[in-house]
């Protein structure tokens, strides 16, 4: 039998509420595999994870637009005209994802934000903004060798120029220390994804504990308290 208090608490104590997970890793690092393995995010259409985190991924939105347009997803082989069209679609994809993320935040929903991590300042700004709104933030840094990243990029559907892969990989490595200072040891995981294999149990446990642990942010705690008081009145 469903209890009245359970109905009142539904949503307020959802495991994903007010949680934001950032993934960082260059092209070919295997962030989609990592999101699936650690959080149960579907790899085909990463919309919502098994733990209630909403996927925020511009690359996925771009691939969908490119396929619908008939341009194909191999940007590296596009001529000037098709490349220009692809860049317009990238701008459209960013706009779509930005609108979706705004909607998720308005609903206090959990977020799984995919990114390369090549620009630490952008992540810092986004993290601070989410924290002001009540979110607890966490990062999963997906590490791999440059050789593996280049090989995976060459073999995937949406191939990027090798020099871009090298630049982003190098930037990510340089930013690792910044991310460690930014998130802290208790809110960051560094995973080695040089080979697609099951992550160790302790890594999965750390990821699951972040999503399921009580919210720490005082802004979120105050909001939850107010919501529960309103529901009881």
Looking at residue 5, its pLDDT comes to 37
In a domain, 30, yes or no: yes
Between 152 and 12, where is the model more confident?
152
Domain that holds residue 151: 23-37+114-211
In a domain, 82, yes or no: no
Rounded Cα gap, residues 219 and 89, in angstroms: 36
In a domain, 222, yes or no: no
Beta bridge partners, 142, equal: 191
Q: What's the structural domain count of the chain? A: 1
Q: In 3D, which of 116, 128, 65 has the Cα closest to residue 94?
A: 65
Looking at residue 4, its pLDDT comes to 33
Q: How confident is the model at residue 7 (pLDDT cuts 50, 70, 90)?
A: very low
Check which CATH number belongs to the domain holding 33 and give it: 3.40.50.300
In a domain, 66, yes or no: no
Task: Give the mean pLDDT of the chain.
Answer: 85
Between 6 and 124, where is the model more confident?
124
The yes-or-no verdict on residue 61 having pLDDT over 60 is yes
In a domain, 72, yes or no: no
In a domain, 201, yes or no: yes
> How does pLDDT run across 162-201, given as a tens digit for each residue?
999 999 999 999 999 999 999 999 999 999 988 877 788 8
Residue 110's CB is within 10 A of a number of other CB atoms, namely 24
Rounded Cα gap, residues 109 and 23, in angstroms: 17
Check residue 182 and report its DSSP letter.
H
In a domain, 149, yes or no: yes
pTM for the whole thing? 0.85
Give first-to-last CA distance, the chain, whole Å. 23
The yes-or-no verdict on residue 77 having pLDDT over 80 is no
Q: How confident is the model at residue 22 (pLDDT cuts 50, 70, 90)?
A: very high
Q: What is the mean predicted confidence (pLDDT) over 35-63? A: 80
In a domain, 172, yes or no: yes
């Amino acid at each position: 039998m469903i209890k009245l208090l359970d109905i009142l608490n539904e949503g307020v104590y959802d495991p994903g509420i007010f949680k934001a997970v950032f993934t960082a890793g260059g092209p070919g690092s295997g962030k989609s595999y990592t999101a699936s393995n650690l959080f149960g995010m579907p790899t085909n259409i990463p919309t919502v994870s098994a733990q209630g985190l909403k996927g925020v991924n511009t690359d996925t939105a771009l691939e969908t637009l490119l396929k619908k347009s008939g341009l194909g997803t191999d940007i590296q082989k596009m001529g000037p005209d098709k490349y220009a069209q692809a860049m317009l679609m990238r701008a459209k994809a960013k706009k779509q994802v930005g609108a979706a993320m705004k909607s998720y935040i308005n609903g206090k929903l959990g977020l799984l934000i995919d990114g390369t991590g090549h620009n630490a300042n952008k992540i810092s700004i986004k993290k601070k903004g989410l924290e002001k709104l009540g979110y607890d933030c966490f990062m999963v840094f997906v590490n791999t060798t440059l050789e593996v990243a280049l090989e995976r990029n060459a073999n995937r559907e949406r191939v990027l120029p090798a020099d871009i892969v090298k630049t982003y990989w190098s930037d990510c490595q340089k930013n690792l220390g910044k991310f460690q200072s930014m998130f802290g040891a208790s809110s960051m995981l560094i995973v080695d994804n040089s080979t697609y294999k099951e992550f160790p149990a302790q890594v999965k446990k750390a990821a699951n504990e972040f999503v399921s642990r009580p919210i720490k942010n005082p802004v979120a705690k105050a909001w939850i308290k107010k919501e529960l008081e309103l529901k009881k009145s």
